[in-house]
Amino acid sequence: MNSLLFFYGTLKRGCCNHGQLGGQTFVGMAQTAPGFALFDLGGYPGIASRRAGSAGVIGEVWSVDPAALARLDAFEGVSEGLYRRDRIALVPPFAAAVVEAYFPVLAVTDRPEIGSEWRE
Protein backbone atom coordinates (compact mmCIF):
# COMPACT_ATOMS: atom_id res chain seq x y z
CA MET A 1 0.00 0.00 0.00
CA ASN A 2 1.34 3.43 -0.90
CA SER A 3 1.97 6.16 1.66
CA LEU A 4 1.45 9.90 1.32
CA LEU A 5 4.48 12.01 2.22
CA PHE A 6 4.85 15.78 2.52
CA PHE A 7 8.16 17.14 1.21
CA TYR A 8 9.24 20.67 2.10
CA GLY A 9 12.90 20.85 1.07
CA THR A 10 15.52 19.25 -1.15
CA LEU A 11 13.23 16.40 -2.26
CA LYS A 12 10.73 18.74 -3.95
CA ARG A 13 10.54 18.98 -7.74
CA GLY A 14 13.46 20.95 -9.15
CA CYS A 15 15.59 20.52 -6.03
CA CYS A 16 18.89 18.68 -5.68
CA ASN A 17 17.60 15.45 -4.10
CA HIS A 18 14.40 15.09 -6.10
CA GLY A 19 15.87 12.09 -7.92
CA GLN A 20 15.21 10.05 -4.77
CA LEU A 21 11.51 10.17 -5.78
CA GLY A 22 12.04 8.51 -9.16
CA GLY A 23 9.00 6.49 -10.20
CA GLN A 24 6.74 7.94 -7.50
CA THR A 25 3.57 10.01 -8.03
CA PHE A 26 3.19 13.73 -7.39
CA VAL A 27 -0.24 14.28 -5.80
CA GLY A 28 -0.29 18.06 -5.36
CA MET A 29 0.93 21.20 -3.71
CA ALA A 30 0.12 21.43 -0.02
CA GLN A 31 0.50 23.56 3.08
CA THR A 32 0.77 22.53 6.70
CA ALA A 33 -1.65 23.73 9.29
CA PRO A 34 -0.49 26.90 11.07
CA GLY A 35 2.19 26.36 13.68
CA PHE A 36 5.00 24.94 11.54
CA ALA A 37 8.09 26.72 10.22
CA LEU A 38 11.30 25.89 8.37
CA PHE A 39 14.76 26.27 9.86
CA ASP A 40 18.10 26.44 8.05
CA LEU A 41 20.16 23.37 8.91
CA GLY A 42 23.06 24.32 6.64
CA GLY A 43 22.17 23.68 3.01
CA TYR A 44 18.84 22.02 3.69
CA PRO A 45 15.77 22.80 5.82
CA GLY A 46 14.19 21.16 8.83
CA ILE A 47 10.59 21.54 9.84
CA ALA A 48 9.43 22.04 13.41
CA SER A 49 6.45 23.20 15.41
CA ARG A 50 6.51 26.92 15.99
CA ARG A 51 4.37 29.55 17.62
CA ALA A 52 0.71 29.44 16.74
CA GLY A 53 1.09 32.58 14.62
CA SER A 54 3.22 30.81 12.01
CA ALA A 55 1.39 30.56 8.71
CA GLY A 56 2.61 27.03 7.99
CA VAL A 57 4.98 25.47 5.47
CA ILE A 58 4.43 25.07 1.73
CA GLY A 59 5.46 21.82 0.09
CA GLU A 60 4.42 18.87 -2.03
CA VAL A 61 2.49 15.68 -1.33
CA TRP A 62 3.72 12.52 -3.02
CA SER A 63 2.38 8.98 -3.12
CA VAL A 64 5.28 6.57 -2.54
CA ASP A 65 5.37 2.80 -2.74
CA PRO A 66 6.78 0.64 0.07
CA ALA A 67 10.18 0.21 -1.61
CA ALA A 68 10.53 3.99 -2.07
CA LEU A 69 9.44 4.55 1.52
CA ALA A 70 12.24 2.27 2.77
CA ARG A 71 14.71 4.04 0.45
CA LEU A 72 13.60 7.47 1.71
CA ASP A 73 13.81 6.38 5.35
CA ALA A 74 17.41 5.33 4.69
CA PHE A 75 18.17 8.55 2.80
CA GLU A 76 16.78 10.66 5.68
CA GLY A 77 18.72 8.68 8.29
CA VAL A 78 15.69 7.43 10.21
CA SER A 79 17.51 4.37 11.62
CA GLU A 80 20.49 6.56 12.58
CA GLY A 81 18.23 8.90 14.55
CA LEU A 82 18.69 11.92 12.28
CA TYR A 83 15.04 12.25 11.23
CA ARG A 84 11.78 10.67 12.26
CA ARG A 85 8.81 10.12 9.97
CA ASP A 86 5.57 11.21 11.59
CA ARG A 87 2.09 12.39 10.69
CA ILE A 88 1.72 16.08 9.82
CA ALA A 89 -1.41 18.22 9.79
CA LEU A 90 -2.17 19.82 6.42
CA VAL A 91 -4.87 22.22 5.32
CA PRO A 92 -7.48 21.28 2.69
CA PRO A 93 -7.53 19.53 0.33
CA PHE A 94 -5.28 17.21 2.40
CA ALA A 95 -6.71 17.98 5.87
CA ALA A 96 -8.44 14.59 6.21
CA ALA A 97 -5.64 12.56 4.63
CA VAL A 98 -3.01 10.64 6.57
CA VAL A 99 0.19 12.34 5.42
CA GLU A 100 3.63 11.99 6.97
CA ALA A 101 6.75 14.15 6.85
CA TYR A 102 10.35 13.85 7.97
CA PHE A 103 11.10 15.82 11.15
CA PRO A 104 14.64 16.44 12.43
CA VAL A 105 15.21 14.59 15.70
CA LEU A 106 17.50 17.25 17.16
CA ALA A 107 16.02 20.60 18.20
CA VAL A 108 16.20 23.08 15.34
CA THR A 109 14.54 26.14 16.81
CA ASP A 110 17.94 27.59 17.74
CA ARG A 111 18.76 27.68 14.01
CA PRO A 112 17.78 30.56 11.71
CA GLU A 113 14.11 30.45 10.78
CA ILE A 114 13.65 30.63 7.01
CA GLY A 115 9.90 31.00 6.86
CA SER A 116 7.33 28.94 5.03
CA GLU A 117 9.00 27.84 1.79
CA TRP A 118 12.40 26.35 0.88
CA ARG A 119 13.91 27.54 -2.37
CA GLU A 120 17.20 26.22 -3.73
Catalytic residues: 76
Strand 25-31 vs strand 58-64: parallel, antiparallel, or unpaired? antiparallel
**Residue 38 and residue 92: Cα distance in Å, rounded?**
20
Give the span between the Cα atoms of 102 and 114, in whole angstroms: 17
Neighbour count for residue 38 (Cβ, 10 Å): 26
